[in-house]
Amino acid sequence: MALEAVSSSLPVLALLNDIVFPASQVTISVPRSFASYLSRIVKNEDGQPPLVAASPALNSGPNLQYQDVQLSEWACAARIVRFVRPTPLSPNSCIVTLAGVARVQLEKPLPSPSRLHTLPLHVVHYPAPSTGKSISEPAAETFRSAASRLVDQLDAESRARRGRAGTVEWKRLKAIIEDSEAEKTPWVADILMAVITTIPWQDRIQMLSTLSPSDRLKLATSLLSKQASIAEVSHKISSAVDENLTKQQKEYYLRQQLQAIQRELAELNRPGAKSKTGAVGSSKSENDSTSAEFDEEGDETEYFADLRSKIEKMAVGSEERKMGVKEYRRLKRIPAGSVEQGVIRTYLEWLTSLPWPESENDKETQSLAVLQDPKFLAKAREQLDSDHFGLDTIKRRLIEYLAVLRLKALKQAEEANRASESTIVASGEAPRTSATDPQPKETVVKKHPVIRTKGPILLLVGPPGSGKTSVASSLAKALNRPFHRISLGGVRDEAEIRGHRRTYVASGPGTIVTAMSKVQRPDPVILLDEIDKVGHASHQGDPASALLEVLDPEQNVSFKDHYINVPLDLSQVIFIATANSLESISEPLLDRCEVIRLSGYTYDEKIQIARKFLLPKQLEANGLSADRLTITEKAYEHIASYYTREAGVRSLERAIGSIARWKAVEWSNFSQQNRAKGERDYNPVVDVDDLEPILGVPRWDPQEREREERKGLVYGLVVSGQGEGAVLPVETIMTSGSGKLRLTGSLGEVIRESGEIALSWVKAHAYTLGITNSETQDLMKEPHPIDIHLHLPSGAVKKDGPSAGVALVCAFVSLLTGLTVSKYIAMTGETTLRGRVTAVGGIKEKVLGAHREGICKVILPRSNRKDVEHDVPAEIMSKMEFVYVSRVEEALEAAFGPGVLNSGHRLAGQVESRL
Ligand SMILES: Nc1ncnc2c1ncn2[C@@H]1O[C@H](COP(=O)(O)OP(=O)(O)OP(=O)(O)O)[C@@H](O)[C@H]1O
């Protein structure tokens, strides 16, 4: 007897995101509005859980609302096995658990979406049980194997995601699949369709609407195998990704996606641009060319090709090339945009920017050609003369240096040629350079020799603005080499010279490598400015010792910067150092240098420099032609003596610069407003009277010197830390006390000792000098016990050295005798206990300083006479008096006047009244 379809009326429960299949159990959440209708249904039933027709939405989606639902005609009659009303924890929804019973078909027309929350009663038809062919074992087996495969995959996936706890469900399901009889497999298929939510929604709806068990099994088998394959592939990908994907690679993929999205967006924007009328064609081509210009991919390819070609130019087998290749390969492996890629890029950019040997042969030839020129020395002298006034000794010394450099270069070139000739003769053929050449490239004889500048480093010492930097730059011009200045003032950290290791965050190369990269030549002239201001060993390393390595010809062939980490040959570089004074330069560093002194200029020299060099320079810098500014001789003199008082010409240059700017403004105003009217003539001449409005009130007044003539006050001569000579007052006073000597004014050990020596000498000769009345009288105790206080002003400036000896003796004698020394007399010289006056240094600086300060007579050690005659300009020699002394008594006589201090002349009056 054929089984008939049955109809009944059931409340319809719309399912938005779940499907209930017969034999499956599903828990869903429904809005609060369903609660009252659901509870009515649940209450009405007697004993049995109530039945509803659970009908899935055909148009399921994440934002689907009940009023938009299109219900599926096929639904599942399901029992409400659990119903939870809204709770305080979840006030807006209730929970319903449905147990599927059988497929049902809703009668048409389907319930209206607007009433779904009322769970409207609707006629449903239970289809007649299928009488079709039974399930074959092979079909069942195929289903089991597909289902097991998929469940295994899902099991593995959930294990990976949630650990062991998540695996139980799938294991039970697998057991059900494997144990199911053939006839039951369509029911198992229904369960799987309910549970495996990754199967597409429409496929699951199709399963719900398929009545024939065999058809259902077939459909389920195909859906499950498809799903298993997908799961397998995605599992493979994700495990591969998990294994290989570092954080940076993930970042890379994300960036790639971002780029793709940006490209898509750009595409979207393009049609809009096209739709514009008129100049569409031209604007498009413009856009295209702009986008090509900024095309990142193109840029990248070009960047890598460029980098590669630079590495390829490095000598085969060299360390730099090996390092370049290694880092280049790493760079290619690392995802774009990652931090590490940035680090490697920066490194490679530095590495390839350096002038490595053999990649720059043409430039080596260039520098050799300059030296080979027979007129090289004459041209060099011409260059030095055209850039600087005076400095004859310095220029002569520089020419000697260049002559030696030239001879060495010629010799090296000759030797290299001879070596290459003998190689050719020995092999009996020309050197092979073809592509098939079996000889490795490293052993090929170099065409051009490397000219090593082995020799002393020139150290130019002198006060600021005396022309050290500009002399070095002239030398570079004469050699036709690039010039680079490295300022070492205040360098405390060794890494500033030698770079930071690459492991250090924000690391970079040191100043030497930076210089080499900038000049792009292996043989530049590098000026190490203010080498005396380099810091010494500290916790930040020892910059001075790093400099030693740079300057030592034995070591600088392979200078290793910490960042670049490949030895760099600095042997062709000409290093010139500058310093203001030699005192703070370490012995080993000084040992590698040849000192050339620039002592500053006299007034006349300064005026000549100003007229011939500084004015033309400032005219050009300020856009004025020569006929727009003329400074009178008197004005120059006035500037030099009233506005600037320095050994060099820096302030003078600044003052001339101010005048030039003033005149530039005047000329512009005049040319704009007055020229047409002819109201006022522009006056290019600047005279003494014009200076005050331009330069302000004079800083110095030579007539009103602060110096004075007082008892116990004399003037010594010093060379400051800046290398400038100056006059230093030596002040002494006496107070009642206990016979002590007090020394103040930031004095060093040596100068303190000089003070004691001087006082001892005065005490020993007190009777002869007329200070005491008897040989045995102690001047510090009788007639009254006294203390002497000696002070050297400018207490903030450290002072040391023995050269104040003579001045100290004179100061004590003046204090104790009451006689004064003229304020136009200054002195220098070391004294011994026996009263000998010995030689001191810095004579030229001291004499120039004394001249600037208006001193007329200088007392000096006799052994320094040669320095005065050799170094001091004739113009000053003629204007000042020099008294050379070899004993303290001679110095006293020169200071106080002949015969004033002698044994016959008792200075009892002064002695009595000295307090
Ligand atoms: N003998 C000279 N002839 C022409 N110009 C000079 C002379 N000496 C110095 N100058 C000029 O003076 C200016 C300052 O000189 P420079 O910068 O070389 O001084 P420096 O000794 O290096 O000073 P610092 O110790 O402060 O570095 C430059 O413009 C330079 O051209």
Domain assignment of residue 574, given as a range: 361-429+443-597
Asked if residue 884 belongs to a domain, the reply is: yes
Predicted local distance difference test score (pLDDT) of residue 78: 92
Q: Do residues 423 and 484 share a domain? A: yes
Amino acid identity for residue 177 in this structure: I
Predicted local distance difference test score (pLDDT) of residue 55: 92
Angle at 154 between CA 148 and CA 160, to 5 degrees: 135
Q: 650: Cβ below 6 Å to ligand 1?
A: yes
Q: How far is CA 257 from CA 108, 250, 334, in A?
A: 48, 11, 17
Q: Do residues 230 and 303 share a domain? A: no
Predicted local distance difference test score (pLDDT) of residue 885: 93
Judged against a pLDDT cut of 70, whether residue 64 lies above it is answered with: yes
Q: How far is the CA of 397 from the centre of ligand 1 (A)?
A: 18
> Ligand 1, from 385, 395, 470, 652: best to mutate by most atoms within 8 Å of Cβ?
470
Please state which of the ranges 154-158, 343-347, 847-851 shows the lowest mean pLDDT. Answer: 154-158
Q: How far is the CA of 687 from the centre of ligand 1 (A)?
A: 25
Q: Do residues 577 and 690 share a domain? A: no
Q: Do residues 505 and 473 share a domain? A: yes
Q: Do residues 11 and 102 share a domain? A: yes
Q: Do residues 447 and 487 share a domain? A: yes
| Beta bridge mates, 594 | 458
Answer with the one of 662, 695, 728 that is the final residue of a domain. Answer: 695
Q: Are 734 and 915 a contacting pair, CB within 8 Å?
A: yes
Q: Which ipTM was obtained for this model?
A: 0.96
Out of 803, 814, 823, 844, which one is annotated catalytic?
Answer: 803
Predicted local distance difference test score (pLDDT) of residue 693: 82
Q: Do residues 466 and 368 share a domain? A: yes
Asked if residue 131 belongs to a domain, the reply is: no
Q: Which of 543, 517, 539 is nearest to 528 (CA)?
A: 543
Helix (H) or strand (E) holding 280: helix 280-293
Q: How many helices (H) and strands (E) does the chain have?
A: 32, 22
> Ligand 1, from 392, 393, 398, 469: best to mutate by most atoms within 8 Å of Cβ?
469
Asked if residue 618 belongs to a domain, the reply is: yes
CATH for 654: 1.10.8.60
Q: 609: Cβ below 6 Å to ligand 1?
A: yes
Q: Do residues 333 and 449 share a domain? A: no
Task: Using pLDDT thresholds of 50, 70 and 90, give the confidence band for residue 828.
Answer: very high
Share of the chain above pLDDT 90, in %: 10
Task: Using pLDDT thresholds of 50, 70 and 90, give the confidence band for residue 81.
Answer: confident
CATH for 18: 2.30.130.40
For residues 529-545, average pLDDT: 76
Q: How many CA atoms lie within 13 A of 549 on its CB side?
A: 15
How many structural domains compose the chain? 6
Q: 613: Cβ below 6 Å to ligand 1?
A: yes
Q: How far is the CA of 395 from the centre of ligand 1 (A)?
A: 14
Q: 723: Cβ below 6 Å to ligand 1?
A: no
Predicted local distance difference test score (pLDDT) of residue 695: 82
Q: Do residues 520 and 563 share a domain? A: yes
Q: Do residues 239 and 255 share a domain? A: no
Please confirm, yes or no, whether 134 is among the known catalytic residues: no
Asked if residue 409 belongs to a domain, the reply is: yes
Q: Do residues 187 and 304 share a domain? A: no
Q: Report the relative pairing of strands 857-861 and 881-885 from DSSP bridges.
A: parallel
Predicted local distance difference test score (pLDDT) of residue 860: 93
Judged against a pLDDT cut of 60, whether residue 460 lies above it is answered with: yes
Q: How far is CA 277 from CA 254, 266, 434, in A?
A: 38, 20, 60
CATH for 870: 3.30.230.10
Q: 389: Cβ below 6 Å to ligand 1?
A: yes
Answer with the one of 597, 622, 652 that is the final residue of a domain. Answer: 597
Q: How far is the CA of 842 from the centre of ligand 1 (A)?
A: 20
Asked if residue 391 belongs to a domain, the reply is: yes
Query: For residue 104, with 0-12 CB atoms within 10 Å meaning exposed, 13-18 middle and 19 or more buried, which class applies?
Result: buried
Asked if residue 281 belongs to a domain, the reply is: no
205-261 pLDDT, tens per residue?
999 999 888 888 999 999 988 888 887 777 776 666 555 555 656 666 677 677 677
Q: 649: Cβ below 6 Å to ligand 1?
A: yes
Asked if residue 286 belongs to a domain, the reply is: no
Q: Do residues 881 and 768 share a domain? A: yes
Q: How far is the CA of 393 from the centre of ligand 1 (A)?
A: 16
Report CA torsion sign: 94, 99, 103, 104. negative
Does the annotation list 468 as a binding residue?
yes
519 vs 900 pLDDT, higher one: 519
The whole model's pTM is what?
A: 0.57
303-327 pLDDT, tens per residue?
788 888 888 888 888 888 888 888 8
Please confirm, yes or no, whether 487 is among the known catalytic residues: no
For residue 194, give every residue at least 6 positions away whose Cβ sits within 8 Å of its Cβ, in sequence order, or none. 19, 20, 21, 24, 25, 26, 100
Predicted local distance difference test score (pLDDT) of residue 904: 44
Asked if residue 708 belongs to a domain, the reply is: no
Q: How far is CA 135 from CA 208, 656, 826, in A?
A: 18, 111, 128
Q: Which one-letter DSSP state was computed for residue 620? A: H
CATH for 406: 3.40.50.300
Answer with the one of 597, 616, 645 that is the final residue of a domain. Answer: 597
Share of the chain above pLDDT 70, in %: 80
